[in-house]
Every structure is written in structure tokens, then in C-alpha cells.
Amino acid sequence: MPAAAAEGARSARIRARLEELGLSLPAVAAPVAAYVPAVASGRHVHTSGQLPFVDGALPTTGKVGAEVTPERAAELAAVCCLNALAAVEALVGDLDRVTGVVKVTGYVASAAHFTAQPAVINGASELLGAVFGAAGTHARAAVGVAVLPLDAPVELDLLVELDEAIERDGVAAPSA
Amino acid sequence: MPAAAAEGARSARIRARLEELGLSLPAVAAPVAAYVPAVASGRHVHTSGQLPFVDGALPTTGKVGAEVTPERAAELAAVCCLNALAAVEALVGDLDRVTGVVKVTGYVASAAHFTAQPAVINGASELLGAVFGAAGTHARAAVGVAVLPLDAPVELDLLVELDEAIERDGVAAPSA
Amino acid sequence: MPAAAAEGARSARIRARLEELGLSLPAVAAPVAAYVPAVASGRHVHTSGQLPFVDGALPTTGKVGAEVTPERAAELAAVCCLNALAAVEALVGDLDRVTGVVKVTGYVASAAHFTAQPAVINGASELLGAVFGAAGTHARAAVGVAVLPLDAPVELDLLVELDEAIERDGVAAPSA
């Protein structure tokens, strides 16, 4: 099959780029609840809202602008983003299949007077640019919310476009 | 037409499953404002954010973790989800056409220290699993927000995938 | 090519409608951060979350229900919506290509007891109806959040459907 042949010929380009950047994809975090980390529909993958888990724990909790600095929160947004990419890879098998990042929605648990949510979510946006180049260009919403699950400072989900459609059956893979 | 024939042959499988679960779909709540409960685009249906209306009224209001317990809020998330499914059915005519739930976005009006939003939205996720089985598996974002319309404790929207594309004209149906 | 021919034949219907309504599309606001105002994927355009910038500045800041009245906030939601339409036009070249508005997500920076978020986002929904007629009918989520970027009272993003798919390359256009 042409698709399979193309897959065989793929270099692990994005994997190599991640290594160049000194980054590695984490194991996919088990969802906190009854859902899966990512679902494909046609040529798109929607990830679940990702918390900045590192080795299964939140390294930092609290509100940005109070207990958490914007700089630290931007690092955590990058961690959320890596977790989201790991969820995409676990579902589709190879991040080289991502032809474009479409949308990032970033929620920042914010102290009452903190209004620099875009700077926080830049931690994710810049990572996507570094990893995917032009294909990492995305639309984005960044909002400040009262409180996030487990008192996480940031939560973020991704919508990405694939080179070709995936059957819905692919959904079962990450939870099986 | 094959599509019409297939439609004729359909058993109301999901309707029957809802009955088995002791559930019934409510009448579609009139939107609080100038929009419609659900819109189709290609093979997807996007619902509006659903409040936990029962017979046109909110049975419970307030913030989760303060006036509203997480357990009660999970029940309300299930009500939001039923309302969303009712909106989908009103648009597409038959929930058996849903080949997969793609994404759930759940907003929980949260007291300042309440961080168990995932447990609340589980009320919806578990309902989707019970109704649709594997096709109910979805990606999800659950966030805590300051306040929701009419002081509702929960708001939730769905993105679902259909067996085949619907013409945009279908949009007019639920509001006509 | 038929597509090009069709494009040549297009009257600037939506442009004319905007003029009739006394509205004009603003210059596309530069994103506050590392992303672009709108991205196409297949037949859909996703806009970034739009703030109510007018000539590059926020005319009003603060929380709705406190410093900002709901009426003023509804006007600002309409400004967000115009900015989103400008982002779509800058990407696709002609708003007549929009065959339908699919989804509006509206975030309202809300005082603790303000629960009329739908009335605020109506400012955008009614504008879409006035501009696009039936094609402006959309699904919508309106939520109250703690605080928004730059202390904006409203943020809003759009998902719209196009007459035909756009190549991902189109993405580069607005940022080049």
C-alpha cells in the first residue's frame, strides 16, 4: 500500500528535532478520569486538556501571579504541550504525520490581577514553533480561569491536523 | 438512495440503550440567546454550551465546593450531557448516526479552593460511555471557572462525529 | 481553473453587507504572542481568541458586572467578533467564501456575582446574524472567567466553514 510504503520511508524527523532541542516526550499521563488523552476524527486529533505532569506528579501548584511566577508558568505550559504531543504520538504512532498544529487553547489559573496569560501560553507556542517550524503555526486562545484540576497553574489542549485520516478505531489504542 | 435505505433499516439502538439506562432525552432547551443548540459542519456536530436545565429551569445553582457538592455537580454534568445529546438528536434525527464522541469541554463554576473538576465532568464522561460504548470515548478538557450563566454550577459542550456529512441547511431545523 | 473563475465572479457581498450595517473590518491586530490570528485546516478556519482591540488599544478594561456594564460588554463582544472576521478575511481573502459560522466561544471576565454572560456574547451573535444571515447561525459557549489578557472584559474565538478547503500553506500569509 502506498500509505504504508510512505510510512516505512519516513525518517523520524520530529523525534530527531525534539532530541536536538534537548526534549523528550514523556510517557502518556493516565487521564485523571473517564476519558482518553487524544481522539482522532478524520484528519484531526483533539487532545484532552493536559496538566503539567512530570513523572505522574505536578511539580508546581497554585495561581499564576500569586504562588507561581509567569516565567515558571511558561515552563509549565511547555510541559503541558509536551504531554499533549506525547498523547498525539501515542495515538497516531509518529509525529511526522502532523501536517499542522491548528489550535491551542490555554487556561491559566490566575491571581485576580494577573493579566499576562499570553506570555504564559507562549511557553507552549514557542515550543511548537521550535519543534514543527512553519507547521507549528497555530491559532490560540489564552484565558485566565479561577482554578484548575489538582490546583495546576496551567492546562492546555491541542488540535492538530494529520497527513491523512485515521479510522475512529484508532481511538481504542491508547486506552487498551 | 442507499443512505435513505440505511436510515430506514436503522434500529433506534441508542434510544433503546438510553431507555435501558433509565434515561430519556429532554426537549431541547431554547437557547438563552441568539444562537442554536447545535450546528453541523461536514461530519461533525458542535453543540452549544449546555446548562443543566431540567424542564426549563436550573434545579441547582451556585459554586461547586461551596453551595454545591461535587457529587451533585457530577449529576448536573450528566444532565448537561443529556441536553447536549438531545440537541444533537434534534439536528440529525437519530443518535445512531453518531459514530463517535470526539471532545467534551466542561466548565465547572468553582469555589476558590475546589480542584476536583475532573470528578465533576466524569458525570458526563461516564454517561457517554454507558450510552455509546467504545464510540463514547472522547478527549476532554475540564476547567474551573469563576461563574457561569444564570449561576449554573456546570456548563458543557460536545463535539461528535457522524456517519456522513450533513448539509449546512440542516442547521435551520432546530430553530424553525 | 473553475475555482479561480468563481472567485472572479464573486461580488463582495459580505463587504457590502458590512457597509450597509455601518461596519468596517479593522486592520488585523498583531497577536500579543507567538501565534497567528487565524489558521485554516481543510474547509474550516479557526481564529485565535480575539480581544476587543480598537486601533491597537483596549478602549475599556475590567470585569463585567463591576467596572464594565453588560451593555458596554456586548458592544465589546461585537468588536471582538469584527476582529475575528478581519482575521478570517486576511487569511482567506474574501468573507464571501464563508458558508457558515460553526461555533463561537465567548469568555467574559466576570465580577463574582455576574451571571448574564449570554447577554454579553449576544453582541457577537447578533452581529453574525446581521452580517451573514442564515449562514451566521452558530453553536456557542459563553462562560464567565476570572480575568482575561490585558484585563480585557471579553475574549472570543470563531470557527467558520468555507466553500472549499484551503491549503495549509495559506497559514503563512497573515504573519509574512
- DSSP for B112-171, written as a single string: TT---HHHHHHHHHHHHHHHHGGGG--EEEEEEESB-GGG-SEEEEEEEEEEEEE-GGGG
Contact B149 C115 (CB under 8 A): yes
The per-residue pLDDT for B169 is 56
Given a cut of 70, is residue B171 above it in pLDDT?
A: no
> Any idea where the domains of chain A sit in the sequence?
2-175
Residues C67-120: tens digit of each pLDDT:
999 999 999 999 999 999 999 999 999 999 999 999 999 999 999 999 999 999
Contact C145 A146 (CB under 8 A): yes
- In this prediction, residues B100-107 reach a mean pLDDT of 97
Residues B108-142: tens digit of each pLDDT:
999 999 999 999 999 999 999 999 999 999 999 99
Residue carrying C-alpha cell 448574564 = C116
- In this prediction, residues A61-68 reach a mean pLDDT of 98
CA dist., res. B87 & res. B114, Å (int): 30
Q: Report the sign of the C-alpha dihedral through residues A120, A126, A132, A134, in that order.
A: positive
Q: Give the architecture-level CATH label for domain C2-28+36-168.
A: 2-Layer Sandwich (3.30)
Phi, psi of C48 (to 5 degrees): -70, 160
In sequence order, the β-bridge partners of residue C143 are C107
Q: Are A3 and A164 in contact (CB under 8 A)?
A: yes
As a whole-number percent, the residues of chain B with pLDDT over 70 amount to 86
In sequence order, the β-bridge partners of residue A154 are A108
Residues B49-61: tens digit of each pLDDT:
999 999 989 999 9
As a whole-number percent, the residues of chain B with pLDDT over 90 amount to 70
Q: Enter the CATH code of domain B2-175.
A: 3.30.1330.40
Sort out which chain C residues have CB atoms less than 8 A from B46's CB and list them. Answer: 102-103, 139, 159
Using alpha carbons, list the distances in angstroms from residue A92 to A45, C138, C149.
9, 31, 34
Given a cut of 60, is residue C11 above it in pLDDT?
A: no
- In this prediction, residues B3-7 reach a mean pLDDT of 41
* Amino acid sitting at position B129: G
Size of interface B-C (CB pairs under 8 A): 98
CA dist., res. A150 & res. A128, Å (int): 25
Of C38, C151, C168, the CB nearest to A139: C38
Residue C69 neighbours by CB under 8 Å, 6+ apart: none
Contact A146 B110 (CB under 8 A): yes
Residues C29-56: tens digit of each pLDDT:
666 557 899 999 999 999 999 999 999 8
The answer to which of A146-150, B25-29, B119-123, C18-22 has the lowest mean pLDDT is B25-29
Contact C37 A125 (CB under 8 A): no
Determine the residue of chain B that is closest to C99 in CA distance.
B168
The per-residue pLDDT for B8 is 41
The grid coordinates listed for A49 are 486538556
Using alpha carbons, list the distances in angstroms from residue B74 to A149, B127, B130, B147.
15, 10, 15, 17
Kindly indicate the confidence band of residue A2, based on its pLDDT and cuts at 50, 70 and 90: very low
CA dist., res. A121 & res. A28, Å (int): 21
As a whole-number percent, the residues of chain A with pLDDT over 70 amount to 86
Q: Report the sign of the C-alpha dihedral through residues B122, B53, B111, A76, in that order.
A: positive
The per-residue pLDDT for B11 is 54
Phi, psi of C51 (to 5 degrees): -95, 160
Residues A95-145: tens digit of each pLDDT:
999 999 999 999 999 999 999 999 999 999 999 999 999 999 999 999 999
Given a cut of 50, is residue A175 above it in pLDDT?
A: no
The answer to which of A6-10, A18-22, A65-69, C8-12 has the lowest mean pLDDT is A6-10
Sort out which chain A residues have CB atoms less than 8 A from C151's CB and list them. Answer: 115
Given a cut of 60, is residue B172 above it in pLDDT?
A: no
Identify the three-state secondary structure at position A78.
helix
Residue B103 neighbours by CB under 8 Å, 6+ apart: A39, A46, B138, B139, B140, B141, B158, B159
Given a cut of 60, is residue A169 above it in pLDDT?
A: no
Chain C CB within 8 Å of residue B5 CB? no
